[in-house]
């Protein structure tokens, strides 16, 4: 097999991508401290055409070398903003009609693969701090908690990996409408 080149994949330039239709999903980042994780979250958001990213609380917002190292330019292609309070970000998204989905392990969570996406709806996926997860007040403000089932000895995945798994779940369900 021959690897595809950048030309084979026909990727759009940044300006074209910014104008293109996006998946009706916002990624809300609750107090993620690692610049490398922020860069990875932005890059994943670019890859799955996430509509917007909200970097909340202590989440890094300076698009410097550490972010760029993992974002690889996605800090320029993805619509992102900072909000001092995750709860304020969620209130703004709820006012715009988003269903608030927290990615967290809680009693009563729904296994990700069992969660069906309504193609007419908009969703916000909330991910949390590398050590503490999503703040409990933020968890309580959400409509549903989604959990990625795991079998290993560790109780969680890295935040950027978890976000990628969750965003893929939404992406594969929205993909037919994005490819019209």
The pLDDT tens digits of the residues spanning 74-128 come to 788 899 999 999 999 999 999 999 999 999 999 999 999 999 999 999 999 999 9
Question: In this model, does residue 9 exceed pLDDT 80?
Answer: yes
Question: In this model, does residue 63 exceed pLDDT 80?
Answer: no
Please indicate, yes or no, if residue 17 is contained in any of the structural domains: no
Residues sharing a CB contact under 8 Å with residue 127, sequence separation 6 or more, in sequence order = 27, 28, 29, 30, 32, 41, 103, 134, 159, 162, 163, 166
Can you tell me the mean pLDDT for 53-78? 85
pLDDT of residue 101: 98
The pLDDT tens digits of the residues spanning 115-170 come to 999 999 999 999 999 999 999 999 999 999 999 999 998 888 999 999 999 999 99
Which helix (H) or strand (E) covers residue 146, if one does? strand 144-147
Please indicate, yes or no, if residue 62 is contained in any of the structural domains: yes
The Cα 55–Cα 27 span in angstroms is 8
pLDDT band per the 50, 70, 90 thresholds, residue 69:
confident
Q: Please state which of the ranges 18-32, 61-75, 135-149 shows the lowest mean pLDDT.
A: 61-75
pLDDT of residue 66: 82
Please indicate, yes or no, if residue 1 is contained in any of the structural domains: no
pLDDT band per the 50, 70, 90 thresholds, residue 64:
confident
pLDDT band per the 50, 70, 90 thresholds, residue 180:
low
Question: In this model, does residue 16 exceed pLDDT 70?
Answer: yes
The Cα 100–Cα 91 span in angstroms is 10
Please indicate, yes or no, if residue 39 is contained in any of the structural domains: yes
Question: Measuring CA to CA, how many Å separate 94 from each of 26, 52, 63?
Answer: 11, 14, 27
The domain in which residue 136 lies consists of 22-178
Please indicate, yes or no, if residue 16 is contained in any of the structural domains: no
Can you tell me the mean pLDDT for 37-63? 92
The Cα 180–Cα 176 span in angstroms is 7
Please indicate, yes or no, if residue 78 is contained in any of the structural domains: yes
Question: In this model, does residue 178 exceed pLDDT 80?
Answer: no
Q: What is the dihedral of CA 111, 114, 115, 119, to 10 degrees?
A: 160
Q: What is the dihedral of CA 106, 173, 71, 97, to 10 degrees?
A: -70
Can you tell me the mean pLDDT for 45-57? 96
Specify the number of domains making up the chain.
Answer: 1
Looking up residue 132, the CATH number of its domain turns out to be 3.40.1280.10
pLDDT of residue 138: 98
Please indicate, yes or no, if residue 147 is contained in any of the structural domains: yes
Please indicate, yes or no, if residue 6 is contained in any of the structural domains: no
């Amino acid at each position: 097999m021959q690897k595809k080149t950048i030309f084979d994949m026909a990727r759009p330039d940044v300006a074209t991508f910014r104008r293109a239709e996006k998946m009706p999903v916002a990624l809300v980042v609750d107090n993620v401290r690692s610049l490398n994780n922020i860069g990875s979250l932005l890059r994943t958001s670019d890859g799955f055409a996430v509509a917007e990213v909200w970097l909340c609380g202590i989440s890094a917002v300076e698009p410097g070398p550490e972010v760029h190292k993992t974002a690889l330019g996605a800090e320029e292609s993805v619509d992102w903003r900072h909000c001092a309070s995750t709860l304020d970000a969620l209130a703004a998204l709820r006012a715009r009609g988003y269903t608030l989905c927290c990615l967290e392990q809680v009693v009563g969570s729904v296994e990700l693969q069992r969660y069906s996406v309504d193609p007419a709806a908009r969703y916000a996926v909330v991910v949390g701090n590398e050590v503490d997860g999503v703040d409990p007040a933020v968890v309580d403000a959400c409509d549903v908690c989604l959990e990625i089932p795991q079998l290993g000895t560790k109780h969680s995945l890295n935040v950027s990996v978890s976000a990628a798994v969750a965003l893929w779940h939404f992406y594969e369900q929205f993909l037919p409408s994005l490819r019209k």
